[in-house]
Amino acid sequence: MSTNDLPASEGFLFFERKQCDLPYYRPAPEGFSQTGWIIVLIAVAVSFVVLGLAQQQFHSGIAGFIPPLLFVLIPLVAVAAVAGAKAPFALFRPVGLREVGLMVLFFILNYIVTIVVGTILVSAFHPASNPAGDMVATASGVDQVLFFFWTAVQLLGEEIFTILIFLGAMAGLTRVMSRNLALCLAALVAAIIFGLVHLPTYQGNLIQAVTLVPIRIVLLIPYIITRNIWTSTGAHVLNDWTTFGMAAYAGMQAG
| pLDDT tens digits, 44-96 | 999 999 999 999 999 888 999 999 999 999 999 999 999 999 999 999 999 99
Q: Which of 129, 145, 135, 128 is nearest to 55 (CA)?
A: 135
Which range is least confidently modeled, 4-8, 63-67, 162-166, 176-180?
4-8
Q: Which of 250, 232, 239 is nearest to 112 (CA)?
A: 239
Q: What is the mean pLDDT of the chain?
A: 89
| Per-residue model confidence (pLDDT) at position 2 | 38
pLDDT at 120 over 50: yes
Model confidence over 240-251: pLDDT tens digits?
999 888 877 776
CA 205 to CA 242: how far, in whole Å? 23
CA 44 to CA 164: how far, in whole Å? 8
CA 32 to CA 83: how far, in whole Å? 7
Which range is least confidently modeled, 116-120, 154-158, 165-169?
116-120
Contact 164, 74 (CB under 8 A): no
To 5 degrees, how large is the angle CA 216–CA 201–CA 142? Answer: 95
Instruction: Please state the separation of Cα 119 from the chain's center in Å.
Output: 23
CA 11 to CA 35: how far, in whole Å? 27
| Per-residue model confidence (pLDDT) at position 50 | 98
pTM exceeds cut of 0.85 = yes
